[in-house]
Amino acid sequence: MTVSVALVITDLDVGGAERALSALATGLPRDRWRVGVFCLGRPGALAEVIQESGLPCECLGVGRRDAIGAVARLTRALRRFEPDLIQSFLFHANLAARLAAPWVRRPRPAVLGGIRVAERQRRWHLTLDRLTFSLTDGAVCVSEGVKRFSRDVGGLDPSRLWVIPNGIDPSPIDAAQPVRRATIGIPDEAHLALYVGRLDPQKGLPDLLDAADRLIAARPNWYLAIAGDGPERPHLLHAIESRSTRRDRIRWLGRRDDVPGLLKSADVLVLPSHWEGMPNVVLEAMSARRAVVGTSVEGTEDLVVAGETGWLVPPRDPTMLTAALDAAADDPARLRRLGEAGRLRVEHAFSMAAVVTAYERLWSTVLKFQSR
C-alpha cells in the first residue's frame, strides 16, 4: 500500500529549499510513497527535472501577493491528488498549505510545514506562522539553530518541531571540472577565497569587504571571488570599484551555474552570514573537499566543526573573520586536511539517503498518530 504525499513549495527556481525538495521527491521509494509536487508560482528550472523523473509536478502560476488565489488553486489541485499528508517548504507555501488542507477532504490530511531560515527581517512572517501553526501537525526545521529560533523568537510549540537537515549527493561535484582561474582573472599561484550566495544584507558582505581590505594589505597573493546576485549588487559593485586595491584583488563573477567547478578552483569558501537556515553552499564546499570559514549562525554551526573542517567566527565581527581567513591562507597542508575531513563528515552525516529516511520516519509517525 502506498501513501500519497503532496510536496508544496513557493517556486521551483534553483535555490537551496527548491533543490532539497527536488532531491527528496525523486529519492523517495515509489513502492511506499505516491508523490506529487505542487508549486505556487510559475514553472522554474527544477519543475522539468521533477517531471523528467516521472513524478507529477503542477505549477499553479500564482503571484506571491495573491494569497486568496494561491489557497484556492492549491485546494483544487490537492483535491484532485487526494494526499494523505502535505509537506510544505518555505513561508508562502506553508501558509497556503495550512489554509487549503481543511478544504481538501474530511478528515483533513496531515500537514507539516518546512521552516528553512531564522527569519530576522520580515517579522510579520513570524506572526502569521504563529497564528496558523495550530492548523498543522508540526513543522520540519532545517537545523537545530532554526528550531531554537522558531521556539524562542517565533513562539512555536517545540514538541511539534523536528529537525531534518539538508543532504547532498556529492557525485555531480565529483564529476565537475575545476574552473580555469585565468577565465575569472585569478592567478594560478594566488590564494583564492570564494564567496557564493545572494548579495543580500543577511549575508554580511560588508564584513567580508572589511576583512578583504586587511588581507589585501597584508598578503600580496590573496584574492577574493564573489559569485551571486541580489539586491545588494549595486552597492557591492560600487564598494569594490571605489578602491583600486579592491578592483585589483576582488572579482565579482555574477550568477554562476558552475559552482562546483568554482569550489574546486578555490582554496577556501567564506560565508560571513548574519543568520542562516542551513546553507547548501557549505555542504557543496565540504563535498568538494574545501575548508570553510563561516560564522557561528544557524545551520553553518551544524555543518562546520571548528578546527576539524574549518573555522567558525562570531557574526558581524570583521576582525575575527580576518584572523580566520588569514589562518586559512597560512597553511595549505592544513587546508587540505580540513577539506578531506569535511568530505567525510558529509558522507557520514548529510547524505541524501539519510534525509529521505528521516522524512519517511517522521511522516509514518505523524500518520500513525493522526489515525488514532
With a CB cutoff of 8 Å and minimum separation 6, the contacts of 72 are none
10 Å CB burial of residue 229 (0-12, 13-18, 19+) is: middle
pTM of the model: 0.90
pLDDT attached to residue 194: 98
pLDDT attached to residue 371: 54
Instruction: Count CB neighbours of 32 within 10 A.
Output: 13
Which domains are delineated in the chain?
3-167+351-370 (3.40.50.2000), 171-349 (3.40.50.2000)
CA 277 – CA 117 distance, rounded (Å): 4
pLDDT attached to residue 372: 52
CB 273 within 8 A of CB 206: no
C-alpha radius of gyration, the chain, whole number: 21
Q: Could you report the per-residue pLDDT of 89-117, keeping only the tens digit for each?
A: 999 999 999 999 999 988 899 999 999 99
- Look at residues 315, 312, 265, 321 and name the one whose alpha carbon lies nearest to residue 290: 265
**Which DSSP state fits 36?**
E
With a CB cutoff of 8 Å and minimum separation 6, the contacts of 77 are 38, 58, 60
**Which DSSP state fits 141?**
E
Q: Could you report the per-residue pLDDT of 127-183, keeping only the tens digit for each?
A: 999 999 999 999 999 999 999 999 999 999 999 999 999 999 999 999 999 999 999
| Cα atoms in the Cβ-side hemisphere of radius 13 Å centred on 175 | 4
* pLDDT above 90 as % of the chain: 91
CA atoms 6, 10, 16, 22: torsion sign: positive
Say which amino acid occupies 298.
Answer: E
- Per-residue pLDDT, averaged over 263-284, amounts to 96
Crossing angle between the packed helical segments 67-81 and 91-100, to the nearest 10 degrees? 60
Pairing relationship of beta strands 250-254 and 268-271 according to DSSP bridges: unpaired
